Amino acid sequence: MLYYADEHLVIRDMTDRDALAIVEGEHAQGWVNASPEKYYAHMRDRQAGRCACLVAVLDGAPVGYIQIYWNPENGPFANQNIPELVDFGVLGKVRRQGIGTKLMDAAEQFVAHRSDRIAIGVGMHSGYGAAQRMYVLRGYVPDGTGVWYRDRVCPEYADCCNDDDLVLYLSKSLKQSL
């Protein structure tokens, strides 16, 4: 399915070949643990009807991705039929060119046909700083449950590690304002 297209950028459903190209790009930017298996797992979930997998292709090269899980199984929105954006990224070499914004726009427009609300979880360490800022500027607000660590609410004063498993969940209304 095609979600967006202009003369340089196309956003469409992800394929196995896209996953391999993205992993090559991740390796090139120093992500030594990058593996196509996470993308293949998302695409298996897509085949099972649990999600949509979008890829951004710039001048023929896959450079970004986002998954939309229709009814997430974890987090504060679990089993509430509130779609959640998962595993969103743009390769470093093409950041700050509007590709992430176009991916988010396409995902939100796609979700708006099924739901009036959308959710996302964002990591808390500085590596997610740009994403944290972007989500707030797009109108996402924290859900009020505090931070989560390894798919559970992190209790007050609990020890945790500021790694990729420390997450703040946000949501946004997709209803058009009058």
SS3 assignment for the chain: CEEEECCCEEEEECCHHHHHHHHHHHHHCCCCCCCCHHHHHHHHHHHCCCEEEEEEEECCEEEEEEEEECCCCCCCCCCCCCCEEEEEEECHHHCCCCHHHHHHHHHHHHHHCCCCEEEEEEECCHHHHHHHHHHHHCCCEEEEEEEEECCEECCCCCCCCCCCCEEEEEEEECCCCC
Position 54, amino acid: L
pLDDT of the residue at 30:
86
Specify whether the CB–CB gap between 149 and 165 falls below 8 A.
yes
pLDDT of the residue at 32:
80
pLDDT of the residue at 33:
84
pLDDT of the residue at 61:
96
pLDDT of the residue at 78:
94
Token pair recorded at residue 19: 């996953």
Specify whether the CB–CB gap between 175 and 162 falls below 8 A.
no
Residues 131-162 have pLDDT tens digits of 999 999 999 999 999 999 999 999 999 999 99
Contacts of 12 (CB under 8 A, 6+ apart): 1, 2, 3, 54, 55, 57
Below-70 pLDDT ranges, the chain: 176-178
